[in-house]
Every structure is written in structure tokens, then in C-alpha cells.
Chains A and B, each alone.
Chain A
């Protein structure tokens, strides 16, 4: 057995080894009873389904408004779960392995440190993906049911009031656009991508931070900065152009590169309002997320490869 192992390649990023660590991380989190949250989500979705909307905009807008509110509530919860979970889990897992000395036993095996890091983040992201998928399925079912129900109600109400066929068709289109569309699925995928970026940020921070709390707080701070950095960059860019300040321009560009621009993920809010999401938007968000996840993971490796235990 030994000689066979000696011949085994220990090159970086061996898919089987990364998968073993990722699946182990996934199991670890599942056994930490993370999926209990899904039952809370199910309750929220069902409760949101029965909420009545105050009628400010007249009865004709009830269908669209109710669906928007259902989507907004549920996607807000999904986003909250994904971001909070990905930060907490990533910030916790690595220091826990060091503290319990389980990391020693793993790194004492022929496991490159990069494989360990990639396996850990992949395991966390797999759990977020599966959770979002389950929440998405539940929400799609509830949204379909609610959309069909509202279509019948609203259209019969419109017919009873003698609306023209054109107005009825327009109302139907408006309601369907708020239902479980492909754009809606794209928005859920965008939530996953956003959590993947912030998870990679937490991974980087946990490689040099000695406190889990510090990692969590700083990760949330970067998440917030990500929402404002585009505005700040625009402001500094305008200021720099006006004053021809090369230093400010360079710093603005550097900060834009380091901190991800989470405003690009505002497409999620657009989808809640019923605005379709284009395939190009999904592709560009995927590309951007991949860039940041790879960048932060490589930086994590850079720090972790020289770390002493």
C-alpha cells in the first residue's frame, strides 16, 4: 500500500481530494443542523403567502403587488440566509480545525494546503447552493400556486367590470411576469454568486485573523462596502478628474479591484419588480463572481501556505 501511495501524485487541486474535503465540510455543516433553517424559511413563505396587501393602488394592482411582496420577502430571507450563513460558516470552520488540531492531522497527510482551502470553501458553497435550491423549489411551488390563483381572481374581476380584451391581456402579462419566471431563477442564482464572493472574502480573512468574531464583522463590513464602493468610486473619480489627482485615481481603481461591486447584483431587486433578467447579465455576473472567488482564494492560499501551526 505504501509504495502505491508513494507513487500517487500529490499535485495541487486534485479533484478527488478536493471533493473529499468539500463533501466532508458539507456533512459537517449538515450535522450542525443548518437545514433546520429551511423549515423556518418554509414557515415564512407560507405566512407571506397569506399576508394581505394594503390597497393603496386600487384593486387592479393587487395581483402584481401581492406577488412582488411575496417574492421580496422570500428573496430577502434567502439573501439573508445565504450571506449570514456563508460568512459565519467560513469564518468558523478554519479556526475550529486549528483549535481542535484536526488541521494537523489533515495537513500531516499528503494534502496540499491549496486543496484544503478549496475543499473547505467548496463545501460551504455546496451547502449554500443546496439550501438555495430547496428554498427556490419551495418558493417556485408557492409562487406558481399564488400566481395561478391570482390570475383566476383578477381576470374574472376584470371581466366582470367589462375590461377590454387588450386590457385583460395586459393584466395577465403583468401578473405572469411576477410569477416563477426564468428571471426569477436567475435572481436566485445571483444570490448564490453574491454569497460565493463574500464567502471567499471570509476565507481570506480567516487565514490571517485570530478571532472568528473579527472575521465575521470585517466580512460584513466588506459586504456593506461592496454596496457603496461603486458610488464612492464614481465620486472620487469625478473629484480626481476635476483636480487631476493621479494618486486618487489609482487608489480608486485599486479599491474597485479589491472590493467587489455588489451594486451589480441589484438585478435581484429588478427581478422582484418584474423586470426580466437577461442571459448576458447572468453570464457577466458569473464571470465577475468567478474572478473574485478565484482572486480571494488565491490570496488566501498565499497567506495560508506560509502559516505555521
Chain B
């Protein structure tokens, strides 16, 4: 992992002014600062209307900051050049329904100055990556929600950007589609691509992100490494396989002999409903 800074947001403030005189401007983002190192997966979480999407739009130059600065790999976000290294997937994207999957990727690729064989190879590679090879010549009007999210992810990656910005990448997608998208994000992280995503699906963020920022009412209220933020410092977890009841009893006795320690819980860990669903639907498929 390099130490290059992929994203830097400094004291970002965004006010939306009302066209009516006397009506106070609405402050959507209030002094947010964050820094994402290259190769990290950063999750910005917060309730609806907390300023996540506005922060992302400011980073993409879609809204102009009222004050503060945003930069991508050292380039000012308001400059077109900063977008050479960025791919963006908006929340609930629709894209052009009249285009097929392959045509969509070709269109976005051409906008990034890709041409000829290089573009065609890239289109094929991306369709394989997002598992849409079979739907490459089908118009997007006939795609499911999950397929649209995946083609959206593919278009975001078309010029092989170093940074991906994903706004609610799994919103409205079924658990299988959601898992595919999360697997893709992890594949991208392994390839060294920086991912900046926002979501209010906390479990999913926890699964894929290295760093997390919590934004509430436009303000960054907590930020840091995920492991540091969620670790409970005064507790220790031991997970064993095939432990006999006798062994469990021995452990219980040992802990009881230790004055400073307290046994809080013993029992079988539970799987998540999502894992159960995925396992069962995989069996059905077979």
C-alpha cells in the first residue's frame, strides 16, 4: 500500500441557498475534513440527509463548496482533469435504457478517450468482472436492479481509475446482488484501487471498509480505522471448534478462579440471516 493521498477534503462547507429572500440557507455539510490514502476502502456512514451524497458530489465537482477544498490525487476537484482518475456510481442510477450493456461501456469509454481494440478489450473484461457477459447485448431497459448497479460499477471502472466513488452501491439490491457487489469491492481493493463509498447499511460497510467516517447533520462526528473504532478494549473473544462440554466447564472454572476476569457469555456463535439466505439460495441453484 502506498502512502499517496487519494482524497483530501478540508473544512468542507456546503450551504444551499433558498431563492426566497429572508429564508435561511440550509447547511448540508458543515466543516467536514477527511483524508483517504491510496488503496484504502473508506466508508462514509450516516442517516439519510446527513450530507453523505453532498460530500461526494463536492468531491466530483457536481456541487461547488461554499468554503473549504476537495482534491483527488492532489488535483482540485473543480477542475476537469481531476476526473481522469475517478469512477463514480451514483445512488439508484438509471443510465440510458436504449443502450445495451456493451454499448453503455463503449459510450463511457469513448468519453474517457478510449478507442478501438483497447476499448473493446476493456468492455469484455469489465462485463466478465461484473458477471454480465451473458447480458452484454441486452438493452438496459430489461436489466434488473442488481444488474444495473453492476453495469454502473463497470462504467465507473471503464478508464481504470485509481479511485472509485460509490454512492449507496447496494441500495435496493437483493442479498445475492448485494454480495456480488461487495465481493467486487473487495476484489478492487486487492487490486490496489481506492474506494470511497457511502451507505447506511452498516453491516456491509463493516465488512468491506478499512476506514470509516460517521457523518451526522452535516458534521463528521467520528472517524478512524474500523478495527480501532469497533474494538471493545476490555473484552476478549475466543472462538473454538468441536469443544466438548467438559472443556467448556474447565474454562468456566478457570475464569471463575481469576478475580479480575468475568465470563460474560458462552454458547454457539450465530450466523447472520444474510449468510443463511445466501447458503440456502446457493443450494437451490444447485
A108 & B94 in contact (Cβ 8 Å cutoff)? no
Which of A2, A100, A101 has a CB less than 8 Å from the CB of B159?
A2
Find the residue from B62, B84, B114 having the highest chain A CB count within 10 A. Answer: B84
- Total number of A residues with any Cβ neighbor in B under 8 Å: 30
B93 & A20 in contact (Cβ 8 Å cutoff)? no
Among listed A26-34, A128-136, A189-197, A221-229, interface-contacting one:
A26-34
B118 to chain A minimum Cβ distance, whole angstroms, is 8
Which of A16, A27, A308 has a CB less than 8 Å from the CB of B113?
A16
B92 to chain A minimum Cβ distance, whole angstroms, is 7
Residue numbers in B under 8 Å from A21 (CB-CB): 111
Find the residue from A100, A105, A107, A112 having the highest chain B CB count within 10 A. Answer: A105
Bound-state Cα–Cα, A110 to B98, Å: 23
B79 to chain A minimum Cβ distance, whole angstroms, is 8
Beta-carbon contacts of B88-114 to A below 8 Å, as 1s and 0s? 111111111011000000011011111
Instruction: Answer whether A102 and B162 are a contact pair too, CB < 8 Å, given A5-B84, A10-B81, A16-B113.
Output: no
- The verdict on B68 contacting chain A, using a C-beta distance below 8 Å, is no
B57 & A5 in contact (Cβ 8 Å cutoff)? no
B84 & A17 in contact (Cβ 8 Å cutoff)? no
Bound-state Cα–Cα, A106 to B92, Å: 15
CB-nearest residue of chain A to B98 = A31
Which of A8, A28, A309 has a CB less than 8 Å from the CB of B96?
A28
Count the A-B residue pairs with Cβ separation under 8 angstroms: how many? 107
A5 & B94 in contact (Cβ 8 Å cutoff)? no
Residue numbers in A under 8 Å from B159 (CB-CB): 1-2, 5, 109
Residue numbers in A under 8 Å from B111 (CB-CB): 17, 20-21, 106, 109-111
Residue numbers in A under 8 Å from B110 (CB-CB): 16-17, 20
- The verdict on B219 contacting chain A, using a C-beta distance below 8 Å, is no
Residue numbers in A under 8 Å from B63 (CB-CB): 308-309
Find the residue from A5, A16, A106, A306 having the highest chain B CB count within 10 A. Answer: A5
A82 to chain B minimum Cβ distance, whole angstroms, is 23
CB-nearest residue of chain B to A32 = B98
Beta-carbon contacts of A109-128 to B below 8 Å, as 1s and 0s? 11110000000000000000
Residue numbers in A under 8 Å from B60 (CB-CB): 104, 107-108
Residue numbers in B under 8 Å from A32 (CB-CB): 98
B160 & A108 in contact (Cβ 8 Å cutoff)? no
- The verdict on B130 contacting chain A, using a C-beta distance below 8 Å, is no
- The verdict on B177 contacting chain A, using a C-beta distance below 8 Å, is no
B112 & A5 in contact (Cβ 8 Å cutoff)? yes
A110 & B112 in contact (Cβ 8 Å cutoff)? yes
A104 & B94 in contact (Cβ 8 Å cutoff)? no
Bound-state Cα–Cα, A101 to B156, Å: 14
A100 & B112 in contact (Cβ 8 Å cutoff)? no
- The verdict on A164 contacting chain B, using a C-beta distance below 8 Å, is no
Which of A10, A16, A102, A108 has a CB less than 8 Å from the CB of B87?
A108
- The verdict on A6 contacting chain B, using a C-beta distance below 8 Å, is yes
Residue numbers in A under 8 Å from B80 (CB-CB): 10, 110-112
A69-109 interface with B by 8 A CB criterion: 100-102, 104-109
Bound-state Cα–Cα, A59 to B90, Å: 69
Beta-carbon contacts of B21-63 to A below 8 Å, as 1s and 0s? 0000000000000000000000000000000000001001111
17 residue pairs A–B, Cβ–Cβ below 8 Å: A1-B114, A10-B83, A27-B98, A27-B99, A28-B98, A100-B94, A102-B96, A104-B62, A104-B93, A105-B90, A108-B60, A108-B62, A109-B159, A110-B80, A110-B83, A110-B84, A110-B112
A sample of 13 more A-B contacts (CB under 8 A), given A104-B88, A105-B155, A308-B62, is A1-B160, A5-B113, A5-B159, A28-B98, A100-B93, A101-B91, A101-B94, A105-B88, A105-B93, A105-B156, A108-B86, A108-B156, A308-B63
B residues engaging A (CB < 8 A)? Answer: 57, 60-64, 80-81, 83-96, 98-99, 107-108, 110-114, 118, 122, 152, 155-156, 159-162, 165
Query: What 6 pairs between A and B have smallest CB-CB spacing?
Result: A108-B88, A100-B94, A31-B98, A1-B160, A308-B63, A20-B110
